[in-house]
Amino acid sequence: MIPCLKKKMLFNPSNFKKNYNKNINNPGLKKSLFRSRKIVDSRKIAIKSVSDFELLRNYSSEIKNNSISNLYELLINWEKNAKKNGTIVHWAENYEDVNKIIYKIAKKNKVKNVIKSKSMLTEESGLNNYLKKKKIKVTETDLGEYIIQNSNEPPSHIIAPAIHKSKEEVSELFSRIHKQKITNNIEELTQQARENIRPHFFNADMGITGANFLISDSGSTVIVTNEGNGRMTNTLPKVHVAVTSIEKCISNFEELSLMLRVLTRSATSQNISNYISITTGKKKQKELDGPKEFHVILMDVGRTKILESDTWEILKCIRCGACMNHCPVYHTIGGHPYGWVYPGPMGAILNSSLLGNKIAGDLPYASTLCNQCGVVCPVKIPLPELMVKLRNKKFKSMNIFKFEKIILTFWSFISKNPSIFNFFVSITRKILKLQANKKNYTPSIFGLKFGWFIKRFLPKPK
């Protein structure tokens, strides 16, 4: 059961077509998406600051190949070391349990106010709504997450969740919730967010973060951030909970140093992210800083199933967002039409793998297979290949009377019989020539402007 997905909800992968049509015709979104293209250029500069970025990609890919293949040993070792340092480790097999575990910790510690630093896994589990129903106040502190929490929207990008919003829209939102001077100036808006979020850091009884990496040799969790809210969240409240999934575990600090080089360049075009926090355990004796309780929730919701499948490589993903930054489809429709936590190429694959064919099986088809994503993926996931594999799964499950299946079966039939094929070709040429007007193009077929003919003509056969 996916807590945050309801059939009637517009934000759902099965409403992909409706949602993308809405977005294509949204000029404001077009502007925002155009603006976000600058990250493509800044990444090109960032990768030049290592001597051999392609070699670095190979290294990162191998580190992940190895870790994914050895999760049993890595996690056993991680847990042993984490516990040695006072970390309380929980394991969860479904979203309900993730939320329940967090609630139990909150209840035991009489938590009323929670601050959160970005965690995609708690988006998967629908934690915020769950805690809201239990009358626990949750404040997202990452600027982008704060914006979308207050505008009641889902994130549209995994690194910059409010990328679809213009500064005017943020200004309008802040003027409503902060009741301060209205401004379109991005620096002033950021300053307002700082001032308004700050008290929450001090009032919070519990902080919830994600974890970019788990380090097996030391039992540590690592977060990679820029704003400082992640550090506030893992240090100030008396309880800290880190929510992570099993495939995030790597072996040691040598591997971490390497992965960081490729992650920050791919995600935000930085040589290094402003803050890298490596947390091992709770507050030590005599320390003034730090939580008195540190919990890590290791979740496996659907991950082991993917691990055994032929799309296991998606588990290598380090959530940098480079694929969606380079995707022509994402840049046309934005993130929301993907209908769940993850948008873009990795989202199409992961959403479909976790939610199944019925709900999200269309997403892997929403790609030209151009591989602009695959060539920038820092861990060399063959994204278009995985999409085709998922298409195969969807195709096999399709009803034989589905139009698509009929056409493809017909095509393969005639392709196996050359004389029939050539006959079909000549008929098609005749029809298209008849449909074409004097200008050498066809505006529609029998008056139908389906698919191809949306704002486009078809050249007349020569």
Q: Is residue 235 at the binding interface for other proteins, with CB under 8 A as the rule?
A: yes
Enumerate residues 131-150 that contact other proteins by CB under 8 A: 141-144, 147
Q: Is residue 439 at the binding interface for other proteins, with CB under 8 A as the rule?
A: yes
Close Cβ partners of 220 (under 8 Å, ≥ 6 residues apart): 81, 82, 214, 278, 279, 280
Q: Which of 27, 396, 401, 446 binds other proteins (CB under 8 A)?
A: 396
Are 272 and 258 in contact, with CB atoms under 8 Å apart? no
Least distance to other proteins, CB of residue 135, Å: 26
Q: Is residue 444 at the binding interface for other proteins, with CB under 8 A as the rule?
A: no
Judged by CB, which is closer to other proteins: 6, or 18? 18
Hey, how many other C-beta atoms are within 10 angstroms of the C-beta on 357? Answer: 17
* Cα within 13 Å of Cα(352), Cβ side: 29
Judged by CB, which is closer to other proteins: 4, or 163? 163
Q: Which of 10, 368, 423, 444 binds other proteins (CB under 8 A)?
A: 368
Q: Which of 66, 104, 134, 292 binds other proteins (CB under 8 A)?
A: 66
The full DSSP string for 336-400 is GGG-SS--HHHHHHHHHHHH-HHHHTTGGGS-----TTTTT-TT---HHHHHHHHHHHHHHHS-T
Least distance to other proteins, CB of residue 11, Å: 18
Judged by CB, which is closer to other proteins: 8, or 169? 169
Residue type at 190? T
The two structure tokens encoding residue 120: 């995609």
Rounded to the nearest angstrom, the gap between the alpha carbon of residue 68 and the centroid of all alpha carbons in its chain is: 19
Q: Is residue 55 at the binding interface for other proteins, with CB under 8 A as the rule?
A: yes
Q: Which stretch binds other proteins (CB under 8 A): 2-10, 122-130, 343-351, 392-400?
A: 392-400
Q: Is residue 431 at the binding interface for other proteins, with CB under 8 A as the rule?
A: no
Q: Which of 300, 356, 435, 445 binds other proteins (CB under 8 A)?
A: 300
Q: Which of 3, 103, 113, 370 binds other proteins (CB under 8 A)?
A: 370
Q: Is residue 36 at the binding interface for other proteins, with CB under 8 A as the rule?
A: yes
In the block, residue with structure tokens 């309008």: 172
In the block, residue with structure tokens 């009637």: 8
> What's the Cα-to-Cα distance from 105 to each of 139, 242, 246, 290, 301, rounded to whole Å?
17, 12, 21, 17, 20
Q: Is residue 56 at the binding interface for other proteins, with CB under 8 A as the rule?
A: yes
**Separation between Cα atoms, residue 1 and residue 162, nearest integer Å:** 27
Q: Which of 3, 11, 26, 97 binds other proteins (CB under 8 A)?
A: 97
